[in-house]
Amino acid sequence: MKITLLSLLIFIAHTAIGQHAFTIFVKDQSTNQPLPGATVQRKGLSIGSSADKNGKAELQNIPGGSQAFLVRFVGYQTKEIRFVFPLADTTATIIYLVPEEKELEEVIIS
């Protein structure tokens, strides 16, 4: 009985400690405007989220340790960021994306 109870408590503690949450705001670097629909994804896994109308994205169930994230938005350069979980500072992080400098090819209509 004692071993079963101890095993159950260890399992519950491990599950509670091993999962972390993360809040990020994605904004345009030059205008400081939010980028709704920007995606934040943990590199190599399917853990990810899309930003709401305020540029806010929330990720859940992030394992402990060093984690890399890719922040993307159409027309902007992808940014890779790295954090070590659990985070020392749990306030939301702001990430600024830079617009891509690509020019569109000339279109000729005849």
Mean pLDDT, 10 residues at a time, over the chain (110 residues)?
A: 52 54 93 96 86 94 90 95 86 92 77
Question: Cα dihedral sign for 18, 19, 23, 26?
Answer: positive
Q: What are phi and psi of 5, to 5 degrees?
A: -65, -45
pLDDT of residue 15: 43
CA distance 57 to 89: 17
pTM of this prediction exceeds 0.75? no
